[in-house]
Amino acid sequence: MKIRSTNISALTVGGKIQIIALSKRLVQHPDWYTLLDTIYRDPRLTINARIVVVDGPLHEIFHLNPPDKPRLPIHLTQLLDTANRRNLTVKTSALELQRMMNDKGTTPVVTEFKKVILRFGKKGELTIVSKIPDHLNKNRWLKPLLSYFVKYVDKEVKTSYQDNQFHFDVELKMEISISERYSSFDVATHKKELEQVLEKDLSQRYQKLIATFQKHQVDPVGFGVYARAYQYKEWKKVEEDWPKAFAHAKVRIKPIVSIKGFGVIE
């Protein structure tokens, strides 16, 4: 039997980089993106690496070593991929970031990491909590709250231009499953009424979110992409300052909720 000794160089290979972590303080600088030039210029580096922003000192993340988690690069990658599948965050690669930086119709978005999230990661699906009307809650000592998670979403966006404004009508068909309820009403009996309550609640939440986007003149959703595709003539007039034009746009979001699951115990 022959025994061969193998030496490992332990060199860092740029083509296998999975995550590029940037500090939040760095990306607040107006010229931060120019520092990524070598990623796109050097063919030995990968453009499929995920871009994340760290809220806090980078060294705290690099020296993080949870005893019940795999090695940090694997842990971060799995955490990001899982959160993306659950619609908790985006998964922006270096290539996708380049596309968004050059696209005037959208505001670039990346994942933000915090040390507390990495150490105590939230498990399970994204859960939404809504308040139930008092007339559906017979036991007043129970909080009229309902928790549910979204299983499926299908969207349709209609774009128009009227009265010197872009108009976006978004219809969201959502299938949800009840995960927890803090009231005694019968969900199955009041299914239709409950769906209408959740639709109204979601609509108000979406409108507040859109109002926040417009207040800060950002378009992370990418409504500018729809404006360019369906109202190109008007889009060309504002493409150099789309965030400002979007701030004056009319956005209407109409959720259509369908309860598909009531939990294991009914």
Domain regions of the chain by residue span: 14-119, 127-261
Residue 83 has pLDDT above 60, yes or no: yes
pTM: 0.70
Residue percentage of the chain with pLDDT more than 90: 29
Residue 206 to residue 171: CA distance in whole angstroms:
12
Residue 129 has pLDDT above 50, yes or no: yes
223 and 242 in contact (C-beta within 8 Å)? no
Most confident range, picked from 24-28, 69-73, 240-244: 240-244
pLDDT for the residue numbered 35: 87
DSSP 206: H
Stretch 43-51: mean pLDDT, rounded? 82
Angstrom distances, CA of residue 183 to CA of 115, 138, 208: 36, 7, 27
Q: How confident is the model at residue 5 (pLDDT cuts 50, 70, 90)?
A: very low
Query: Which of the listed CATH numbers 3.10.20.740, 3.40.50.12780, 3.30.300.210, 3.40.50.1000 matches domain 127-261?
Result: 3.30.300.210
